[in-house]
């Protein structure tokens, strides 16, 4: 039998032992956490207490191929509020209303939100920021942020696009190259308590933003000015609903200029209708008419269903399954050879070529020339071409498609296909981004030519080019530039509005390249629904000549044939 009190002492000793053991384990655990996870836990706790105000990264610049600035970021400021730190919200809203020229009710609504931070003014000037700071309002702060600026105004607006107030690309290259241009945002962080009040001895941290990359375009600002001036003059002279002019390097696929009328100023894009933001060269289709004929010609020569000695008879019309198809010339062209068919843009001759090719082969070349799919250009909003499904094509459909009707393509698709003829038979992917450079000048995306496929043999491409040179003495004589051998094709098609052909409204266009041989430039002019004269050879060809002549002079490309001089 244990003496009195022994059991109680054992229980006390057991309790003390358990307490010491538990405390030791707890200390060991705390020590282990401190040793191995202390810094991580400290950072987590700090993140819970820190309230961050984002600092926008300056977007990268957009440059033309010669380094001219097309888009840049200017310094500015963002004014923000921390609602939990503002005891007199009504008074703060009234004071800020007079400074920011913003209704007090709207400011009070923002300051009444439960958010940790609210924006009160974006892209504020330094003068405005000075007035805010002088007011000394608790809970009102300022952080630097960049404002996008386009020094050229309307220059290449539909190519460059614009960025929104939150530093995000919304249209054009600003959108398609957003991943390069955006950069990495920074932040200003302040230590706050659970009620969003700044803590005594609060920690303040600043993480600087990382600027975006610089995007260098294949675009040439001077060529762009040439194209835009010509488009404006063409619209004024013809009363057209719209004009597009596209200039490409046929060898590389680089877009050198892309002009549209109407245009807009990306610095004030909100003042223009959204339809003006779109780039019709990539987002709209049109029936090309006779400017499509070089594709049919190239396919027929490549497949050897016609040759230079082939002859055709054009009485002014032909019949396909009993349906008459007229040539544009009343009475027709009579008995003609292949060169005359091309020079005179004889519909009957091209119908015969389409029939000899047959639907499967014709569609194979449509596909090879990139006319059935998107081109993959690095611009947003590219649409698909419109054409009847191959299985549904009737003989009459094939006949009219052979001379550019019953299908619709984008201007970019058409000129890219023509470039494959100009460069010797290679389809190259069109592009407007030449290269991307990091903020320190390191190449992020190198320049490069992307050949998709070979569609013609060099010999056939040369033969088609020679036949298109002959056009310049026929229907395309108004597109000629003295001193240069050029190749080209006129085109006129009935306009399509809301999916229907519109009687009495037309699209005039001209496509060509040069100098021949070794073309440096390919140019497409499209004039939508002109008033009065509407044939491509009448109104689009002279615009092509003007653009080509100025571009050749600017690039210092010397004439390759003697220029006749008048003697008196």
Q: Strands of 140-208 (E only): list them.
A: 140-149, 186-191, 204-207
Pairwise CA distance, residues 496 & 543, whole Å: 23
Query: Residue 329: CB partners within 8 Å, gap ≥ 6?
Result: 316, 344, 346
| 3-class DSSP assignment, residue 339 | helix
What is the full DSSP assignment across 75-104? Answer: EEEEEEE-GGG-S-HHHHHHHHHHHHT--H
Write the Ramachandran bin of 136: left for phi over 0, alpha for psi from -120 to 50, otherwise beta: left
Question: Is 466 labeled as catalytic in the residue annotation?
Answer: no
* Residue from 157, 290, 310, 385 carrying the catalytic annotation: 290
**Strand partners of residue 313:** 335
Structure tokens, 215:
């995007």
Instruction: Give the separation between CA 89 and CA 111, rounded to whole angstroms.
Output: 7
Cβ contact 82:139 at 8 Å = yes
Buried b (16+ CB within 10 A) or exposed e, 448-469: eeeebeebbeeebbbbbbbbbb
Closest by CA to 246, choosing from 496, 527, 459, is: 527
CA 217, chain centre distance (Å)? 11
In sequence order, which residues have a C-beta less than 8 Å from that of residue 550 and are 6 or more positions away?
A: 226, 230
Number of H helices, E strands in the chain: 18, 21
- Annotated catalytic residues are 290
């Amino acid at each position: 039998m244990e003496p009195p009190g022994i059991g109680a002492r054992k229980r006390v000793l057991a309790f003390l032992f358990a307490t010491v053991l538990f405390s030791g384990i707890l200390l060991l655990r705390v020590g282990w956490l401190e040793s191995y996870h202390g810094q991580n836990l400290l950072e987590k706790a700090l993140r819970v207490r820190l309230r961050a105000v984002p600092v926008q990264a300056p977007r990268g610049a957009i440059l033309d191929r010669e380094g001219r600035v097309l888009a840049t970021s200017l310094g500015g400021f963002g004014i923000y509020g921390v609602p939990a730190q503002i005891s007199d919200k009504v008074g703060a809203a009234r004071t800020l209303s007079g400074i920011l020229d913003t209704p007090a009710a709207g400011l009070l609504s923002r300051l009444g939100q439960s958010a940790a931070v609210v924006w009160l003014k974006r892209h504020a000037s330094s003068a405005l920021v000075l007035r805010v700071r002088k007011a000394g309002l608790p809970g009102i702060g300022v952080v630097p942020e960049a404002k996008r600026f386009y020094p050229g105004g309307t220059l290449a607006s539909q190519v460059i696009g614009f960025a929104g107030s939150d530093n995000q690309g919304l249209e054009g290259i600003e959108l398609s190259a957003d991943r390069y241009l955006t950069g990495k945002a920074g932040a200003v962080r302040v230590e706050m308590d659970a009620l969003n009040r700044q803590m005594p001895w609060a920690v303040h941290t600043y993480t600087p933003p990382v600027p975006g990359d610089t995007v260098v375009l294949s675009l040439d600002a001077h060529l762009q000015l040439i194209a835009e001036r010509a488009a404006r003059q063409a619209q004024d002279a013809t009363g057209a609903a719209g004009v597009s002019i596209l200039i490409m390097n046929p060898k590389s696929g680089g877009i050198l200029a892309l002009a549209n009328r109407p245009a807009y100023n990306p610095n004030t894009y909100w003042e223009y209708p959204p339809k003006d933001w779109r780039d019709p060269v990539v987002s709209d289709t049109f029936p090309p008419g006779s400017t499509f004929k070089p594709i049919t010609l190239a396919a027929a020569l490549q497949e050897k269903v016609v040759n230079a000695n082939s002859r055709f008879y054009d009485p002014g019309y032909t019949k396909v399954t009993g349906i008459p198809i007229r040539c544009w010339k009343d009475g027709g062209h009579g008995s003609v050879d292949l060169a005359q068919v091309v020079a005179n843009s004889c519909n009957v001759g091209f119908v015969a070529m389409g029939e000899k090719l047959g639907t499967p082969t014709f569609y194979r070349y449509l596909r090879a020339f990139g006319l059935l799919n998107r081109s993959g250009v690095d611009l947003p909003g590219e649409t698909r071409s419109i054409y009847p499904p191959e299985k549904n094509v009737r003989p009459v459909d094939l006949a009219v498609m052979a001379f550019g009707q019953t299908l619709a393509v984008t201007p970019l698709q058409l000129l890219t296909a023509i470039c494959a003829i100009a460069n010797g038979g290679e389809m190259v992917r069109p592009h407007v981004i030449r290269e991307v450079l990091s903020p320190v000048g390191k190449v992020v995306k190198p320049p490069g030519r992307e050949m998709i496929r070979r569609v013609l043999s060099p010999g056939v491409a040369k033969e088609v080019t020679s036949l298109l040179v002959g056009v310049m003495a026929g229907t395309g004589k108004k597109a000629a530039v003295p001193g240069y051998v050029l190749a080209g094709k006129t085109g006129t098609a009935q306009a399509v509005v809301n999916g229907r052909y519109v009687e009495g409204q037309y699209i005039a266009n001209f496509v060509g390249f040069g100098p021949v041989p070794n073309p440096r430039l390919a140019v497409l002019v499209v004039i939508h629904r002109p008033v009065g004269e509407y044939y491509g050879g009448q109104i689009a060809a002279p615009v092509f000549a003007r653009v080509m002549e100025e571009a050749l002079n600017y690039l210092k490309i010397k004439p390759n044939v003697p220029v006749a001089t008048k003697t008196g």
